[in-house]
Every structure is written in C-alpha cells, then in structure tokens.
Amino acid sequence: MEQQILEFDDGIPGFPDARRFQLVELVDDGAFQLLQSVDDPDLAIVVAVPWLFFSDYAPELTDVDQDGLGIESEEDAVVFCAVTLESDRRTAHMNLLGPFVVNVKSRKGRQIVLTDQDYPIRALLPLGVS
C-alpha cells in the first residue's frame, strides 16, 4: 500500500488536521512501517500489523465505523496499530485499543476506538531481541 495516499477525513485524535498519510516501509520486508503525514513532514507514527504479535486480536468494528469506511467484508480492511518505544529503548508497546483501519479499495481510513472490547492501549510487544 506504500506510495498510496490514505485519507483520514476526520484526522486522528491529537492531530485533527492530519488528513492524508502514506504507509512507508522502515526496512524491506520488516515488521514495522511508518504512518507518515503527507501534509506535515514532522508527523509520523511507527505502526505494525497487530497479528504479527497478537495472533488472537479480534477487533470488532461497529456498524457506524463499517459504514463510515464503506467496509463490506474483512478483505476490504487493512488494520495496523501504533507502536511506541519506551524511554529505556528496550521495551515497546502497541496500541490495541485504537487501531488504524483502512478500506483498501477507497483508501479511506480512521483510527477506531474499540469501546467495551477490553483491549489495552499499551500492550507489551514481545520483541525478545535487543
């Protein structure tokens, strides 16, 4: 999906004016990508596909979010989650509460807040290597 412009019409929490992003590979065939703002070069968030780390992750989109994104089946959706590195530079967390969901056909995206599904906002990433 890199090189494609992803449109987040509502922005994302904390960055309401950031509407257009690109997904950029950090390294070839690596686990992490950069969700890079097209309009603000200083705004970028490291993301990864959650199932690489949490195979039983099963976010449920509400009808409102599905309709808003025009997602009709699972194949329409790409999901990635923000990754933050702790200041000790050894541990990292993934935001499973607020995944980014993109409709692969329309390139429309939203950061979904999963209400009542008990997913942590800071799930410890089992990196295992340093």
Partner 1 sequence: MLVLSRRAGESIVIGNDVVITILEVRGGQIRVGVDAPRNLAVHRAEIYEQVLAENRAAAASTDLQASILSTKATGLRLQDPTRSAE
> Which residues sit at the interface with partner 1, rule CB under 8 A?
9-10, 12-15, 26-27, 29-32, 34, 43-46, 51-52, 64, 67-68, 82-85, 89, 92, 95, 97-98, 110-111, 113, 115, 121-122, 127-130
Furthest CA-CA distance within the chain: 42
**Minimal distance, residue 33 CB to partner 1, in Å:** 9
* Burial of residue 71, with CB atoms counted within 10 A of its CB: 0-12 exposed, 13-18 middle, 19 or more buried: buried
Q: Helix, strand or coil for residue 100?
A: strand
Pairing mode, if any, of strands 6-7 and 20-25? antiparallel
Q: How far is the CB of 118 from partner 1 (least distance, A)?
A: 12
Beta carbon of residue 44, minimum distance to partner 1 (angstroms, whole number): 5
